[in-house]
A and B are shown apart, each in its own frame.
Chain A
Amino acid sequence: MMSANERAFEAAVRTHSRELFRYAYWLCRDRGRAEDLVQDAFARAWSSWADLRDAGARRSWLYTIVRNEFLRGLEKKQLDYDDRDVSDIDVAVESRPDIAIDLRRALEALPESLREPLLLQVLGGFSGGEIAGMLSTTEGAVMTRLTRARQAVRRLLERGLMGQEMAQ
C-alpha cells in the first residue's frame, strides 16, 4: 500500500519531471546532467516531503530545489547578479526583424543573472513575485532583470544595431 505522501510524490514526479528537466537543461545545458539534477532534486524533495504543508507552493519549491542542486554542483550559493538600472536607450531602440545570430546563441550568451528569471517566467510561467521568492530578491529587481534580458536578446538579434551605415 502506498501512503498518501507516496502517492502525492509520484503524482508530482509525473506532473513536473518534464518541466523541471527543461529548466535544469537551460541551467546547465547538458542533457545528461539535467536528468541527474531532476533525479537528485526529487530525492532531496522526498527527504522533506512531509514537511511541506502548502501543496500549492510545491511547484516553485521543486524548481528551487533543482536550482539549488545546480548551484551545489557549481559550489556557488548565489549566481552573480547585477541590478543596475535598465538602460533607457536600449528600450527606445526599434527592433528589426533580421537576425544576425540565432536565438539559441543569443539565449546562451545571456548572463545567468538575466537568463534565469527569463527561464522562470517564460518556461515556468511564474509571476514576478514568485520568481523573486525563488531567487531571494525583490520583485522590482526581478522585473528589471527581465527587462534587461529581453533587451539583451533583442540587441543580439537585431542587425545593424551597431549603427552607422557602410559607405553608400
Chain B
Amino acid sequence: MNCLEFRRELLANPGATGAEAQEHALGCAACADFRARTLALDAEIAELLDVPVPEGLEERVLEAHRTGRRDSRRRFLAMAASVAGVTVVGSGVFVAMRDDPAALAGIDFVIEEEANAILTAKAPQPQDLVRVSLALGLELPPQLGDIRYIGTCPFRGSIAHHLIVTTPQGKATLLLLPELPAQRRGTATSRGLRALVKPAGRGSATVVAESTQGLERIEGMVWRSRTRGGARLTASARTGSDHGQGSEPRRRRPPRFRG
C-alpha cells in the first residue's frame, strides 16, 4: 500500500482502517502523522455534530403518537415566532437607521459565502492584492496579523479581493473593492459580527471582525494616513523599488503569509 492509497482509505473511514493500512502507518511517519490529524479532526467534527437536543423531545413525540396530533410545541413555536415578528418589525426601523446595508452585506458574505469562496478559489495572486491595495491607498502592515487566505470573489456585483486575517482580536475578513465606491463610512452589527464599509481611493473596502475593538484596530492600520504616495504594504521586490514611496520602503515588512 502506498501513501496515496493509505490516505484515501483513511479519509473514507478514519476509525476503521485495515491491516495493510496499519502496517503502512508503522513504516511511514508522514502518514502516521496524517492519520493522527485526521482522527483529531474527526473527533472535532463529532463534537460539533453533537448538538443539544430540545428538552422533552421524546415526551412530545410520544404525546403526538398517543393523541394522533403533532405536539403543541409547533403551535407554541409559531406563536412565539409571530410575537417575535412584531418585535423584529418594530426594531427593524431602528436597525435600518443604524446599520449600513453595504456593511451588512459584508457580514452576510462572511457567514454565508466565505467558506464557498475558499472552496472554489483558484490560485491566489498576491501581486494583484499588492497592486489593488496600492491603488486604494490602503496599507496591510505586518502588525495586522497573519494572512490566512487571499483570493478574489464576486461581492455586491463587483470583484472583491478577499483576505482572511487572524488578529489578536480574532479572525477578520477584508474585502478590497476597487470598483465599488462608497459615499461615507458606515457600520453594521449582525449575527455576532461587526462590519465597516469605508471609501478607499476610487473604491472602498469592507472589514468584518468579531468585535468593535478588532474592527477599529484594523481600520486604524489599514486606513492609516500616509506621508504621501501609496500604501507601503509592499515588498519592493514585487512592485519595483524604483520609486521611493515613503522614505524607508525596506523597513516595513509585508504581512506574514505563513506557509
Contact = CB atoms under 8 A, between A and B. Distances in A.
A91 B254 CA distance: 31
A147 B254 contact: no
Given A88-B4, A100-B118, A155-B118, 13 more contacts: A21-B54, A22-B49, A35-B73, A97-B37, A98-B148, A103-B44, A106-B115, A107-B48, A159-B148, A160-B258, A165-B126, A165-B259, A166-B254
B156 to A, nearest CB: 20
Contact of A32 (B48, B74, B116, B238): B74
A43 interface: yes
B123 A156 contact: no
A64 interface: no
A68 interface: no
A35 B60 contact: yes
Nearest to B60: A39
A128 interface: yes
B164 interface: yes
Interface string A98-128: 1011011111110000000011011100001
Interface of A: 9-10, 13-14, 17-18, 21-22, 25-26, 31-32, 35-36, 38-40, 42-43, 46, 86, 88, 91-92, 94-95, 97-98, 100-101, 103-109, 118-119, 121-123, 128, 143-144, 146-147, 150-157, 159-160, 162-168
Contacts of A163: 123-124, 259
B12 A143 contact: yes
Nearest to B114: A101
B86 interface: no
Contacts of B30: 94
A166 B257 contact: yes
A10 B7 contact: no
B44 to A, nearest CB: 6
Given A32-B77, A159-B148, A166-B257, A39 B48 contact: no
Interface string B229-259: 0000011011000000000000000111111
Contact of A164 (B38, B61, B123): B123
A107 B115 CA distance: 9
